[in-house]
Amino acid sequence: MASWIMADFDDVLDKTLGGIDFNPRELKAKYLEERDKRVRTDANAQYIEVTGDFSNFVDDPYAPAAERKPVTDHVDVVIVGGGFGGLLMGGRLREAGFDDIRVIEKGGDFGGTWYWNRYPGAMCDVESYCYLPMLEELGYVPKHKYSFAPEIMEHSKNIATHYGLYDNALLSTGVTHTEWNDDTDRWTITTDRGDEMTARVIVMANGPLNRPKLPGIDGINDFGGHTFHTSRWDYEYTGGSNEGGLDGLADKRVGIIGTGATAVQCVPHLGAAAKELYVFQRTPSSVDVRNNRETPPDFLEGQETGWQYRRMDNFNKLVTGADQDEDLVNDGWTDIFRKLTGIAAKTASKELGRRLTRHERAELMEMADYRKMESVRRRAQEIVDDPDVAESLKPYYRQFCKRPCFHDEYLPTFNLANVHLVDTDGKGVERFTETGLVANGEHIELDCIIFATGFEVGTNYVRRAGYDTVGRAGRQLSEKWKNGLRTVHGLQTEGFPNAFFMGFNQGAVTVNIPQTLNEQAVQIAYMLDQVRARGGSQIEATPEGEQAWVDEMIDKERLGAKFRAECTPGYYNNEGVAENPNGFFSANYGAGPVRFFEILSDWREQGDLEGCTVT
Ligand code: NDP
């Protein structure tokens, strides 16, 4: 008997999952054992902030900052960040008739994450027809089902051009401080280029994963060879481009630390080019089928206006477990959710002829998860020739403990004679030396070490933004949010008038991040339009409005807490620590994006700006 609940449920599992050909008890024990190996009390503190000696890791390798005079003028709206958040915000504000807009962007151009992440093989693993913002507005159809980074970057620039966002923008410019002035009712914004401008409104579109992190490994300063982070790829050193051809590595011994979604995409190119490639793995990713393909020439045939929104909505609903009659995207993401969420429960309750109990539903999900991960592990077994290497590449945790990956060339790369997997069995790299790395007690000589170690998540907002914001009566945001975020819908916080926050700050996380950013941009544009329509100039969260949203956040936060506690550490579960007020899920609305978007649209429909005050 496989079922943990009752005998007749085995039959349902058979019918819905096609039988149980694994031992769930053994798998559960193995998952917990793998988690226990990795839990560390230092959690996020194991990583080094990219400041001081490490600040060169965030320099812009793509565009030298051109000389210009400091700016000291006034604009109506300043948007901090020229990634998808800033682009959508700028676009929606222009559509609402706001003309005096300035985008301030650290990078040398628009694009945000796609400006910085140019590593070989960089692409988006969410379907392009959902992911690339404003396709209909720009009349653009992506070239592939999954777009490569250069195309996404180009599309970002096209959005900026379309909405006139280059006019008045300050590129290669980092904000250093923002402060509200009670006397003038204006924000003052200072930057690292000596600018000191004022604005009525400020929108922070800094991005959720914008600050690279480095592992706090002993001797990190000792290495005498070349190093860089994947989000600042050094093509001068490696040669080649996003498409590969990294000729500069032909005589190099290269080490890459990390095997997350980024490494999965660039390892095949490194393997193809480097003399020797050592992949230092702490935890393997779940790597499923990609199956990318060109967009068929008749893609738009029969699509009515609003097709992109309908597709995004359909995808979002499917990947949150909601019921939909059709699956417009039909890919690895929707497949996972079809098998692991309410959709699978619905099929099972049909078989039983009744609703499932909460326990039955949980068991079904768990069994379906084991089954899904068994297929991912089988894939590694089938593709990788060396059985020991294949075993090392098998992930032993539930699918959503870490971000699922999809790639067709990653696993075969480990069949190349020059590619070596250094499986550290959850321990990670031990230390740097002047000439290489030590892992599993063995020293490996290297010419170059690439950090594919990801981005800061779960550290406090101000640290990730890189500057503090000072509101009414000199109150600092770092102080106000010291013990966790306090907002209305994640967008405004009391004491900081006309300041808006985009991203994952008490909003809802989605697989398709631009959809959240678009909903936020629509909401902020609506709010500013309402202020104008009411003859006001300021909008601010009320203490009551803020408390109501904080209570709602806490109420929904417990959803999924048990699941995350049993997960192998990663940024989804605060690196294995239960409590973190800035944690990825503490900062996200537990009832999910479908409900969150409804809350926003109902709020607009209601029309009384509940929880905010206009003056
Ligand atoms: P991640 O945070 O996902 O991965 C970091 C990697 O570094 C992990 O494998 C981690 O291991 C490893 N690591 C950290 N410290 C050590 C150490 N001391 N020794 C050895 N290994 C170590 O970063 P990524 O850049 O890969 O991805 C970040 C996010 O960016 C993704 O989750 C995704 O949201 C997004 N992304 C999206 C893409 C897309 O296609 N849409 C593509 C790429 C990224 P461990 O797992 O054990 O912590």
Average pLDDT over residues 85-104: 98
The answer to whether the beta carbons of residues 125 and 290 sit under 8 Å apart is: yes
In the chain, the percentage of residues whose pLDDT exceeds 70 is: 98
Co-location of 431 and 508 in the same domain = no
Co-location of 599 and 491 in the same domain = yes
Co-location of 265 and 249 in the same domain = yes
Q: What are the phi and psi torsion angles at 362 (to 5°)?
A: -60, -40
Ligand 1 centroid from CA 98, angstroms: 39
Predicted confidence at residue 8, as pLDDT, reads 65
Average pLDDT over residues 286-293: 96
Q: Look at residue 55 and tell me if it is in a domain.
A: no
178 or 21, which is more confident? 178
pLDDT tens digits for range 178-219: 999 999 999 999 999 999 999 999 999 998 788 899 999 999
Q: Give DSSP secondary structure letters for 457-504.
A: -SS-HHHHHTSEEE-GGG-BHHHHTTTS---BTTTB-TT-TTEEE-SS
Q: Look at residue 560 and tell me if it is in a domain.
A: no
The answer to whether the beta carbons of residues 234 and 248 sit under 8 Å apart is: no
The model's confidence at residue 338, banded by pLDDT at 50, 70 and 90, is confident
Q: Of 348, 368, 388, which one is at a domain's C-terminal end?
A: 368
pLDDT tens digits for range 122-160: 999 999 999 999 999 999 999 999 999 999 999 999 999
Average pLDDT over residues 324-344: 85
Sign of the dihedral through C-alpha 413, 415, 419, 423 = positive
Q: Is 260 in the pocket of ligand 1 (CB under 6 A)?
A: yes
The answer to whether the beta carbons of residues 469 and 492 sit under 8 Å apart is: no
Co-location of 284 and 189 in the same domain = no
Co-location of 121 and 241 in the same domain = no
Ligand 1 centroid from CA 573, angstroms: 13
CA-nearest residue, atom 20 of ligand 1: 428
- E-strand ranges in 210-344 read 214-215, 226-229, 253-257, 276-281, 287-288
Predicted confidence at residue 7, as pLDDT, reads 56
Co-location of 587 and 505 in the same domain = yes
Burial class (CB in 10 A: 0-12, 13-18, 19+), 255: buried
pLDDT, mean over the chain? 93
| Residue where the block lists tokens 């009712």 | 185
CA-nearest residue, atom 14 of ligand 1: 453
Q: Of 368, 398, 420, which one is at a domain's C-terminal end?
A: 368
Q: How many domains does the chain have?
A: 3
Predicted confidence at residue 358, as pLDDT, reads 83
Ligand 1 centroid from CA 565, angstroms: 19
pLDDT tens digits for range 437-458: 999 999 999 999 999 999 988 7
Q: Distance between the two ends of the chain, CA-based, in angstroms?
A: 66
Q: Look at residue 564 and tell me if it is in a domain.
A: no
Ligand 1 centroid from CA 285, angstroms: 9
Q: Look at residue 310 and tell me if it is in a domain.
A: yes
Distance CA 327, CA 324 (A): 7
The answer to whether the beta carbons of residues 449 and 421 sit under 8 Å apart is: no
Predicted confidence at residue 323, as pLDDT, reads 77
Residue 286 corresponds to which tokens in the numbers above?
């779940």
Q: By three-state DSSP, how is residue 185 classified?
A: coil
Position in ligand 1 atom list of the atom nearest CA 261? 26
Position in ligand 1 atom list of the atom nearest CA 454? 23
7 or 37, which is more confident? 37
pLDDT tens digits for range 385-419: 999 999 999 999 999 999 999 999 999 999 999 99
Q: Of 420, 451, 482, which one is at a domain's C-terminal end?
A: 451
Spell out a b/e string for 199-238, using b for 16 or more CB atoms within 10 Å of the CB, else e: bbbbbbbbbbbbbbbbbebeebeebebebbbbbbbbbebb
Co-location of 144 and 268 in the same domain = no
Q: Name the residue type at position 547.
A: Q
Co-location of 436 and 585 in the same domain = no
Q: In what helix (H) or strand (E) does residue 203 lie, and over which residues does it extend?
A: strand 196-204
Position in ligand 1 atom list of the atom nearest CA 405? 40
Predicted confidence at residue 1, as pLDDT, reads 46
Position in ligand 1 atom list of the atom nearest CA 230? 25
Q: Domain range holding 480?
A: 74-207+457-543+571-614
The residue whose CB lies within 8 Å of the most ligand 1 atoms, and thus the one to mutate among 282, 315, 437, is 282
Predicted confidence at residue 249, as pLDDT, reads 98
Co-location of 376 and 468 in the same domain = no
pLDDT tens digits for range 517-558: 999 999 999 999 999 999 999 999 999 999 999 999 988 876
Co-location of 356 and 391 in the same domain = no
Q: Look at residue 598 and tell me if it is in a domain.
A: yes
Co-location of 91 and 177 in the same domain = yes
Q: Is 104 in the pocket of ligand 1 (CB under 6 A)?
A: no
Q: Look at residue 139 and tell me if it is in a domain.
A: yes
Ligand 1 centroid from CA 262, angstroms: 6
pLDDT tens digits for range 296-314: 999 999 999 999 999 999 9
Distance CA 549, CA 491 (A): 11
Average pLDDT over residues 157-178: 97
What is Dmax (Cα atoms) for the chain? 76
Co-location of 325 and 375 in the same domain = no
User: Can you give the CATH number for the domain in which 418 is found?
Assistant: 3.50.50.60
CA-nearest residue, atom 28 of ligand 1: 454
Give yes or no for residue 484 having a pLDDT over 90.
Answer: no
Q: Is 410 in the pocket of ligand 1 (CB under 6 A)?
A: no
Position in ligand 1 atom list of the atom nearest CA 282? 47
Give yes or no for residue 3 having a pLDDT over 80.
Answer: no
Q: Look at residue 69 and tell me if it is in a domain.
A: no
CA distances from 185 to 74, 78, 104 (A): 12, 14, 21
Ligand 1 centroid from CA 217, angstroms: 16
Q: Is 152 in the pocket of ligand 1 (CB under 6 A)?
A: no
Q: Is 263 in the pocket of ligand 1 (CB under 6 A)?
A: yes
Distance CA 99, CA 608 (A): 25
Average pLDDT over residues 29-47: 92
Q: What are the phi and psi torsion angles at 270 (to 5°)?
A: -65, -40
Q: Look at residue 201 and tell me if it is in a domain.
A: yes
CA distances from 10 to 6, 345, 364, 514 (A): 7, 14, 10, 41
CA-nearest residue, atom 46 of ligand 1: 283
Distance CA 105, CA 545 (A): 31
Q: Is 576 in the pocket of ligand 1 (CB under 6 A)?
A: no
